[in-house]
Amino acid sequence: MRALDNPFRSDRQLGLRYRLTEAEWRSLLVRLGALGRRAALVGPQGSGKTTLLRDLGARLEISGFAVTRIQLNEANPGIPQRVWLELAWGPRAFVLLDGAERLGRLGWLAFSIATRRANGVVITTHEPRRLPTLAECSTSPELLADLVEELLCSRPDWLDATCRDLFAKHNGNMRDALRELYDRFASTRGYPRMHTNHHEYSEIS
- Residue 80 CB burial class (10 angstroms; 0-12, 13-18, ≥19): exposed
Q: Minimum distance from CB of 5 to another protein (Å)?
A: 4
Binding residue (CB under 8 A) for another protein from 82, 189, 196, 197: 189
Name the E strands within 72-196.
94-98, 120-125, 133-136
- Closer to another protein by CB, 21 or 205: give it: 205
Q: Does 148 bind another protein (CB under 8 A)?
A: no
Helix (H, G, I), strand (E, B) or coil at 68: strand
Q: Does 187 bind another protein (CB under 8 A)?
A: yes
Measured distance CA(93)–CA(72) in Å, rounded? 18
Binding residue (CB under 8 A) for another protein from 140, 169, 192, 198: 192
Measured distance CA(38)–CA(118) in Å, rounded? 10
Q: Does 87 bind another protein (CB under 8 A)?
A: no
User: What residue type is 57 in one-letter code?
Assistant: G
Q: Minimum distance from CB of 17 to another protein (Å)?
A: 17
- Closer to another protein by CB, 108 or 182: give it: 182
Measured distance CA(147)–CA(48) in Å, rounded? 11
Our CA angle for 166, 24, 171, nearest 5°, is 15
Binding residue (CB under 8 A) for another protein from 31, 175, 179, 184: 179
Q: Does 201 bind another protein (CB under 8 A)?
A: no
Residues in contact with another protein by CB under 8 A are 1-6, 9-11, 14, 179, 182-183, 186-187, 189-194
